[in-house]
Chains A and B, each alone.
Chain A
């Protein structure tokens, strides 16, 4: 069974203090890895899709990278508005329907 594990569960940063969130996965034939941001009481918002090892995507202060076993979401000089839960997900390797397996998320808090 596919496993998606995110670490740490929670992370508290000072504004400007860069760090990384980890998403490790065990799935053969990776067909994509997705990062989402979720604010309290809202649905997840799509951030990035990565398809192959070595691929990188950037958006403002966020940068997602992918290896054959894990993905990192790097946050550079974070601001309080980056506070949210960050989720990663991978699709099932076979079958239709595009079912995703989600990690339980990293809850990020950025303080002034």
Chain B
């Protein structure tokens, strides 16, 4: 079974800490994404990557950075965690689109609480 694996299901961090969220996929997908999901706001795109060492800002990149050193791994970094970054974080991956688009495969999510 193909998988997107997020390293932690639950995390509790203190304000000001640097936080790393890891995501690994085993499907040889070029495209990877980080979303956050909040009640009433739906899924919002933070960053995405088309290929190794390539990254682009999504809709809400402030306070976040990413790293993609290997094709299978896409890391989300909270430079200095704040309470408003408490959220569910979802990683996803997919093939690049051709004439048609391909859907995402999601990880199981990381519930981050910043105290």
Contacts and interface: CB of A to CB of B under 8 A. Distances in A.
Contact of B42 (A41, A42, A104): A104
Interface string A70-112: 0000000000000000010101000011111011110000000
Contact of B104 (A46, A51, A96, A105): A46
Interface in A17-61: 31-32, 34, 36, 41-46, 49, 51
Contact of A97 (B4, B48, B88): B48
A102 B43 CA distance: 6
Contacts, number: 71
Contact of A102 (B42, B95, B96, B109): B42
A101 B40 CA distance: 15
A78 B45 CA distance: 32
Interface residues of A, number: 24
B95 A98 contact: yes
A32 B95 CA distance: 14
A64 to B, nearest CB: 12
B31 interface: yes
The 8 closest A-B pairs by CB, nearest first: A43-B106, A91-B101, A104-B42, A32-B101, A31-B101, A34-B103, A102-B43, A98-B97
Interface of A: 31-32, 34, 36, 41-46, 49, 51, 87, 89, 91, 96-100, 102-105
